[in-house]
Amino acid sequence: MTAEVVDIRPAEPSDAAQLLALLTQLATESNTFTVDDGLGELTEAEERQQIEQITRTTTNVIFVAALGDDLIGVGTVQATDDLIKKQGEIGVAVRKQYWGAGLGSALVDEMIAWAEDYSTLSQLFLTVQLRNQRAAKLYQHFGFKQVTPTSYDVTDPTGEKVPAVDMVLDVS
């Protein structure tokens, strides 16, 4: 028996329906992952159009982790409105049954390589909840540095206030 290989690749318009389903599932599996409020109203055609638009930019990207035909993880870089700093916010999520298999690391690695080699961004940033020690250590491993001197409260998807910090990585 051969083991299946997980493919980390940029999202394609044909991934739209599966990506919407994955994001909906991921939102139920973790209280450290948030999705945009309008996700439930987004149609497959709208998601397909968003993916097409994103692939034409140098400031936004979506990577997916695919196991065969199934999407099992996602990593995104989304540019901020601040054109002076050219920052991109990253987000990473993997289906719970695949936690601890290195997929988060693989997604972060791909996003950093994209940012360094293809994007016009100068910095990646993120907010990490302090209770998510596994994620905080992952980002530190890749060179992200904490930029908030102390933690501050964010509201998780369940409405609970939890301490978090901001981290950045220079990519230019």
pLDDT digits over 39-84, tens only? 667 889 999 999 999 989 999 999 999 999 899 999 999 998 765 6
- Mean of pLDDT values over 138-144: 96
In contact, 122 and 170? CB cutoff 8 Å? yes
Given this model, what pLDDT does residue 80 score? 81
* Nearest CA-CA partner of 75 in 50, 93, 60, 87: 93
Given this model, what pLDDT does residue 159 score? 86
Domains and CATH numbers, the chain: 6-170 (3.40.630.30)
Given this model, what pLDDT does residue 48 score? 94
Given this model, what pLDDT does residue 31 score? 77
- Mean of pLDDT values over 80-107: 88
Q: Which residues contact 74 (CB under 8 A, 6 or more apart)?
A: 11, 19, 22, 23, 26, 62, 63, 64, 65, 91, 92, 93, 107
Q: How many Å apart are CA 172 and CA 140, to the nearest integer?
A: 18
Q: What number of CA atoms fall less than 13 Å from residue 155's CA on the CB side?
A: 4
Least confident of 20-24, 81-85, 152-156, 166-170: 81-85
Given this model, what pLDDT does residue 37 score? 62
